Structure formats: structure tokens, C-alpha cells
Structure 1
């Protein structure tokens, strides 16, 4: 047992794991984690059961990155353990689905500083708008964290200023609306999507490594978007029934604004990758078509962490 856990370099603590066991493992001198462990990932767990985390962090001598991925109970109790550390807080990833106390989040971002590179919101449209607005209005992200490279937005309609402020570093961007049109207002989805497509191209970096969009897409909005982009990997999950393939060919294929492309229609479940004749045509222009399932990080942030870490 001891040998199997000795010299650990990376550990993922998820919802089904025995947290008490891992905390005792990290604190134990028998496993030598203090001199080998460089990465900790908290992945979809309830942080209120994570205790004595400050003691763990203090004794890890070679820790290079901590990742918090859509964990619940990211509250003042847990954050206080982080911000009172005497060592630098090497929080590299912070993905949130809820803000309990804006002041605590501000202190956490201040403590993290330029270590933070990956940042995500997964707020629903009905979520407390005042907290969402405060997060941007306080400008705590760009004020304290100037090295953001990856952002995941979900149901968040005030993002352009933030993107503009981190243009120089940004290389991975995911923007999503809900594809559950029965739950959310269709008009809100259309309006939000249209605003994104009409304005996003103007604020993106001149070159972007990865952009994934899950939006309600209308033809004219899509054309406006394509006129202003230069992206290595573009993923599109289209909500709605408009035919956007001809614009895809005109701007992506013939003007070579993208190197890798993935396109799936949510309504009819058609993936461009399955249309073999279309894939061959894109290949003639040196554009590689990939399937959405293979190419998307949406819903699987852990895979993205493996790529950008």
C-alpha cells in the first residue's frame, strides 16, 4: 500500500473519493508527498468536507498548481484556509458554479494573483444577477490575475470587457448557452447568442488557439462573426435550424480562417464529421474536420486541464 502511493506527483480528488484517506495520505510522512506532489485537482466535490487543507498546503514543498473545478461549498471557511497560507497560493484553475460571498472570492483571486490561468463560470440565467455583475464590476479577475489563458463562460452575458482586458494571454475560450429550450426563454437565448456573434470577433485576440461556441445561430449573425476571426481550432454546437454550412465554406474554407473545425447541430444531431464528402472537401483546403465528441472540452474540463497544464 505505501509503495503504491509513494512519490506521487499529481492527485485528483473527486466526488467518489475518500477525502479523509487522501488528507491523511498527504499529511503522512510515510509517503513522502511533501517532496514529490506538484499538482492537486479538486474535481466536482463538496469542499465543506475538506478540512485542514491549510496544513496540507503548508507542508507540500514542491507544489506547483492547485485546480478547483466546479466544486460546491466554495465558501468563506474553505477560502480562509487558502488566503491565510504563509506560502504563495498556486491556484492555477478556478471554475465556479456559484458565488456564496463575493468578498471571499475577491480575496482568493488577490491571493492567487498571476498563478491563476484557467477561469470558468457556470452560472444559470436565473442565477443572482447582482453577484454576477459584481464579479465583473469589481474587476477582480483582471485586477489581480493578469495571466488568464483559458475561460469558460456559461449563461453569462457581460463578457466583452473581460476578454478585451486579457487579450494578450487568452488562448482557450468556451462560451455556452443552455440547449434546453424548454427550460430557458427561447427569446433570451436568441438575443444573447446574436449579441455574442455580432460582437465577439471584434474583441478576440488576433490569433486564438481554441474557441468553442454553443449558441443559437442565425445566418447573418454567423457571417458577421466569421468575418472577424482567425482561430486554430473552432468548435460550433448550433442550436436552431438555420443552414450555416455555406457561410462556413465561404469564410472558413476559402479564406482559411481556421485550421481545425468541429460542427454539430443540436436540433438534428448531425455532426459535420459524419458527412464524408464535406470532410473531404474541407481537407482539400487543408482544414481538418473533427467530431464534436472527440474535440470538445465542454463538460470535461479535466481533459482540458491535461492539455493546458
Structure 2
């Protein structure tokens, strides 16, 4: 009875929450719009929240970018006239639309927009067009003007600028247009600049225009930010800051953070060991209580720093550490009580042995992800497996760095496969021989409900991980 009410539209609130569960399942959403009028009205906004993400999907055809034409329907007469100059006439645009589709958009990524326009123009542009580049720039500008004029309420804006990219001129056009229309980003909650160039100053102005809505910032590979303290003092509802492989982690940056009157809610810090110990200590003293995701090279770390990491970083959920120091290895065991995602890369044989002999009994009862990059001796590995029998590991990655290493596959079968303690598994040796290439073994694991995957595929990509989590 209740099912028939849902399909007939008698329970619109419940129906909405059911359909919302398919938010990223585009095939199912397309099916939903064909059920009835209510389902169509509920599914269409979800389909049009992030249409340019089609560029990131594993399967997409050039024809999939026809949604651009629907957006162009909203152009004013002047812009439509400019399209005619490029031999694109009104017949290519829809004569009418059922919805105001621009109003539904919530997510924009500049690179995805540029790529989508490129694929669309590959089909729509007359082949002898003299300046396809100028035409693409016109389409890009026109789309943003449509979004601005419709006063869309963006949730997330991702801006990607690379130091040596043919697309940078397009990106700068977008940035300039945004900065000329600051209300466009007034309601943004997530601002994610991925900037690899010296033009970081272009971003500084944008922060001021969403001071009362912006609660998440992801800084990825940014080389420098000027007036950082002024920027963050303006952000009134900031809840989550993520720094991923940035080049500006110097004494000037740290001092600006220390001088902030507001909390610096640093949730993620990923470095390659290029942050000096004394600066890292100061940063952890300021923001360690907020830190949930941490990646660093601690091979040159002293005991004092490791002790301070334990002292200030009690809320870690993600930990990725490279070390060659035995003392640090012992300290690691004090960090993993509440860890969900753990990667340990140990560059020494003795350290690997110590780790395998002591890690198992220190693991939590469940791990989402465990990646061990070690010099693995079979007897040590067996000790680890015996000691960790009470831990379920959703994704287990093993990389044996030892030359002429022992065969550990029998132990994996005995303690992991038969006990069904893992959902996804990957294993490689120093010669890049992978378990996934052994078809018979893969099928055997499959019979025990364990999926063997490629090592690089199963490895966490840090910024994608942060994007999905926050």
C-alpha cells in the first residue's frame, strides 16, 4: 500500500528522500524522470546540480554534452546574435525548456567546464571556423553570464590553474568575470582552489565575497598566498581547512596563523617532509586539536616532534607516515587507536620487522584502509596476521619492498582469505608483480567474497579523498 502511494505521489516528502539517495547514480535518475510528473520534478534538480562532472565519468560520449545547448537557450538576444556570427544559429538551441535549468546548478569546476565546451564544440562548430578558440571562450563567458544573471546559489566552486596550461587564459577569463560579479560566490560553502601558478593573487579577492557562508577551503599545490591572516580573519563561519602539498608552509605562513585571533581549524595537512620540525610544532600547537588527516615524511623527525604529534593530534582518522627511525615506529602505535585510514611506509628492514611484530595488537577493531609498504619477512608477516585477527580491514594494500622477498601469499590465504577479514585486497612486490595478474588466485579469493584489485587503483588519492569526505 505504501509503495503504491510513493509511486502515485501521495508521499512527496518520502519520495524526495528516496530519490535523493540516487544523487550520483545518473542512470537511475534518468529512469526516475520517466515515472511520473512528481518523480520528474524531484529528479531533475539532482541531475542538473553538477552536469559538467560528466567529464570525470569513466564513460562519456561527445553527444553527452548537449546540456550546454539547453543552458544557451537562456542567452539574451545580443549573445545569441554573436553565436550566429560563428555559424551557430538558433535552430541548434531548444525552442523551449520545461525547467529553468541554470537555477539547479550547485557545483562548478573550471576545468570540467572548459573540457565540456571543448567536446561540445568538436561536434557543433563548423570545421572551417577560423577561430575555434575564440568561439569556445565566447561559449564559456556566455554560460557564466547565464549563471550570474539567474543568481544561482552555488554550493561548491573549484578553480584549477596550472603554471603551464593551455587553458589558463580560459581560467583567467572565468576568474575576472567572477570578481566582477561578487554576488555570484556570496553563498558558496566550499571554495577549492587548485593553483599551480604564480597567479595565486587572483584568488585572494574571492574569499572576501563569501565571508558569511564559506565553511570549507581546500588548498591544493598552492605556491603562495599573500595576506593570509587578513583572508582568514574575514571568514566568519570557517569549519574546515585542508592544506595538501602546498609550497607556502614557511615561517611567514606559520607566524600569520599563530597571530590569528580566530581558531585555525586545520582538518588536513599533507606534506612531503618539506616542513621544518620547529614550524610543524608551532602549527600543531595552534591547530593540532582540529587535525583529522595527516601525512608527512618523519624519517628525520626527532623524538620531541613525535611526542608532540601524539600530544596535540588526538583526533586523527587518516594517517600516512614514511619513516626510517625505529623510535618513531614505536611512537606510531600511540597514534592509531582511533585511526580509520592508515598508511605506513618504512624504508628499513629492522624497522619493518619491529612494526610487523607489534602493529597487529595495536590496531582498532575495524579499519577502512590499511596500506603497508615494508620490507616484509614471512615470519614477521605471520605474527602481524595472528595478532590482528580481531580486526576487520575493508581495504588492505601490501607492498613488499624487499629484494628476493619471501612468498607471503600462503599466509594471506591462511589468515585473511579463509577468515574473510578483508573486503578488497591488493599485493605487489618490488618488481611490480601483482596478485591481480594471477587469474586463478583472483578467482579463489572471489569465492571467499574478497575482491582483488590493482594496487595503484586501490591507493587513496589524497585530494579526491578530502573532496569526498568534506
2:217 maps to which of 32, 40, 47: 40
Structure 1 runs of 4+ off > 6 angstroms?
Answer: none
Corresponding residue number in structure 2 for 1:250? 414
2:276 maps to which of 82, 85, 100: 100
More strand as a share of residues? 1
Partner deviation per Cα, 1:194-244 (whole Å, 9 max, x = no partner): 222122112222322211011121211111111122222111112233211
d(CA) in 2 for partners of 1:17 and 1:217? 43
CA positional deviation for 1:117: 0.5
d(CA) in 1 for partners of 2:191 and 2:330? 35
Distance 1:225 1:307, change over 3 A: farther
CA positional deviation for 1:69: 2.0
- Secondary structure of the equivalent of 2:425? strand
Contact kept in structure 1, 2:216 and 2:239, CA below 8 Å? yes
d(CA) in 1 for partners of 2:437 and 2:358? 31
2:313 maps to which of 127, 142, 145: 145
d(CA) in 2 for partners of 1:65 and 1:209? 22
Contact kept in structure 2, 1:263 and 1:272, CA below 8 Å? yes
Distance 1:295 1:162, change over 3 A: same
1:56 maps to which of 227, 231, 234: 231
- Counterpart check, 1:165 vs 2:334: yes
With the length of structure 2 as denominator, give the TM-score of the two structures.
Answer: 0.56
Corresponding residue number in structure 1 for 2:256? 81
Corresponding residue number in structure 1 for 2:352? 193
CA positional deviation for 1:74: 2.0
CA positional deviation for 1:294: 1.4
CA positional deviation for 1:160: 4.6
With the length of structure 1 as denominator, give the TM-score of the two structures.
Answer: 0.82
Contact kept in structure 2, 1:222 and 1:244, CA below 8 Å? yes
Corresponding residue number in structure 2 for 1:236? 398
Partner deviation per Cα, 1:8-32 (whole Å, 9 max, x = no partner): 42313332362110112223xxxx3
d(CA) in 2 for partners of 1:211 and 1:307? 19
CA positional deviation for 1:260: 1.7
Rg (Cα) greater in structure: 2
CA positional deviation for 1:98: 2.6
Corresponding residue number in structure 1 for 2:429? 265
Corresponding residue number in structure 2 for 1:13? 194
d(CA) in 1 for partners of 2:414 and 2:227? 57
Contact kept in structure 1, 2:427 and 2:455, CA below 8 Å? yes
Structure with larger RCO (C-alpha < 8 A, sep 6+): 1
Partner deviation per Cα, 1:222-278 (whole Å, 9 max, x = no partner): 1111112222211111223321111110111012222221112231x2222232221
Contact kept in structure 1, 2:296 and 2:320, CA below 8 Å? yes
Query: Aligned runs of 1:24-35 on 2, under 5 Å?
Result: 24-27=205-208, 32-35=209-212
Contact kept in structure 1, 2:398 and 2:428, CA below 8 Å? yes
Corresponding residue number in structure 2 for 1:67? 242
Distance 1:226 1:306, change over 3 A: farther
- Counterpart check, 1:210 vs 2:374: no
Partner deviation per Cα, 1:110-163 (whole Å, 9 max, x = no partner): 22142111112124x4xxx4x433211xx2223223211111111243345544
- Secondary structure of the equivalent of 1:74? coil
CA positional deviation for 1:40: 1.8
Gaps of 5+ in 2: 1-176
Distance 1:62 1:143, change over 3 A: same
d(CA) in 1 for partners of 2:291 and 2:251? 19
Query: Aligned runs of 1:281-292 on 2, under 5 Å?
Result: 281-292=444-455
Larger mean Cα displacement after TM superposition, 243-252 or 59-68: 59-68
2:439 maps to which of 276, 279, 282: 276
Count of residue correspondences: 282
2:463 maps to which of 275, 296, 302: 302
- Secondary structure of the equivalent of 2:283? helix
